[in-house]
Amino acid sequence: MFKLFRALVAFLPRLWSNWITLLGTVITSAAAITVLVALAIEFLSTGLNTYAAAVLFLVMPGLLALGLLLIPLGLYHERRRAQRPGFAAEHDQLQDALRQAMSSEVVRKRVAFVLLMTVLNVMIFSVVTHRAISFMETPQFCGNVCHSVMQPELDTYNSSPHSRVACVQCHVGEGATSAIKAKLAGLRQLWGIATGTFHRPIETPVHSLRRASETCEGCHQPGKFFGTRLDFRTHFKADKDNTPQVTAMIFPVGGVDPVTSKDSGIHAHISDRYQLRYESLDDKRTIIGKVQRIENGKVVAEWLPPKENMGKPVTESRIMDCVDCHNRVAHIYDGAPEAAVEKALASGRLDRSLPWIKQVAVGVLKAESPPRAEAERQFRRALGQAYERDHANAVPSSEKLDQAARGLAALYRRNVYPEMRLAWNNYPSNIGHNGPDPGNFKGQCFRCHDGEHATADGKVIPSKCELCHDVMAKDEVPKDLPDEIRPFLHL
């Protein structure tokens, strides 16, 4: 053990034999000390802010690795120098000087200290690398480090039902291979951010997203029998009283029926007993080509697309899963201005007692596109002008208009990010009827259930509304709803 120690001590002076090894030693030591201080702050306080953590746990490990790499390069350089004429005499003189220095107890203690610090460096590098990987898996890294690029996704994620599910649980697969693929993709994205060539807004759908069987189904059981669910759709007339109209519907969510043991309802699309495979004819998965039903690895039914789509190139062949319908589960936007205003009126975020507020608010949101920081001020001015122009006899008080302007600014900031070219309804939900344009019944369910996808013998994928819902009451004033269902309506 003592001989090993002496050998290591004798080796350490070589770290200072040329500028390369010396530089590596300095970088390694400086980075290690910085990281030690950062770790102490992290463990002994409330923690570092996002940007400090990004530098300390991402940049510093890189410097630490660079320093450790420079040391063997310097030693290699020293070995090449040894082959030059006259080097031996210089080297012998250096060795004699080092031997004489190492005969001093003080020097030996200092060298032992350096040796100890080197071992510590290796340990620190291991700990920090683990910490860096852990940091890169946090929503703060995904959303804040790229700042304005991912701000819309982070904002909607924080207000979504899945805000406690880390981004990587859906966007990065299990195991080292998936992590490496994700980080390589991250390098490409980093280059796009550095050069300003990234797409605005962020493109969807994410074609590299993990299968729902690896993510969603870790918590949810689509095969479980959910039966039917009662739900309401509330709209408001564009009249003076903003009259609410309620449509009550029953949704056959279904699942595996415990009585018949058969798949039924909406969740039959993702049965464990068979699969539905479809061809997408565009990058957005809005134009659907051939659809197949697969049982035990064999195609048992096949529906071909309408004639106008026959022969189009296939961009993707995909097994249907949860996200084909639930495509905005963690990044939920309101859709068009009409939908945003109606949700706000139903929840009380906009005051329904203000005359004509539905009509005026929708008009203002459609007409105005201010910078986010100036939204409230500009909406306040626009609301006042709209009321004076169109409803001069029903202008609300200044206080009420201020309150309405704050509500509209909140809706606007939830859905519109001008710096990312993200506007209303850029990210439509596949739950419901409407496609990218309100009233366009060729989106969502109707991508396949269009009544035009047909088998060779003419059997079509049906487009009956009752496949997804039964309407119990349509466009009813709340007080006119049946007594049996009125208590379930929160309005």
Residue 255: enclosing H or E segment and its boundaries? strand 255-256
Q: Domain extents for the chain?
A: 2-136, 141-198, 228-330+433-488, 337-420
Q: pLDDT for 337-361, tens place per residue?
A: 999 999 999 999 999 999 999 999 9
Q: Give the model's pLDDT for residue 96.
A: 65
What integer best gives the mean pLDDT of the chain?
84
Q: Is 345 exposed, middle or buried (0-12, 13-18, 19+ CB in 10 A)?
A: buried
Name, in order, each residue with C-beta under 8 angstroms of 487's C-beta and a sequence gap of 6 or more. none
Q: Give the model's pLDDT for residue 436.
A: 47
Distance CA 173, CA 211 (A): 9
104-142 burial code (b ≥16 CB/10 A, e <16): eeeeeeebeebeeebeebeebbeebeebbeebbbbbebb
**Residues 384-402: what's their mean pLDDT?**
96
Phi, psi of 279 (to 5 degrees): -105, 130
Amino acid at 345: L
Q: Give the model's pLDDT for residue 93.
A: 60
| pLDDT class of 95 with cuts at 50, 70, 90 | low
Q: Which residue has the higher pLDDT, 317 or 143?
A: 317
Range of lowest pLDDT (94-108, 155-169, 321-335, 474-488)? 94-108
Distance CA 422, CA 372 (A): 12
Q: Give the model's pLDDT for residue 155.
A: 93
Residue closest to 98 by CA, chosen among 3, 27, 15: 15
Claim: this prediction has a pTM higher than 0.85: no
Q: Is the pLDDT of residue 4 over 80?
A: no
Q: pLDDT for 211-235, tens place per residue?
A: 888 888 888 888 888 889 989 999 9
Q: Residues for the chain: how many in total?
A: 491
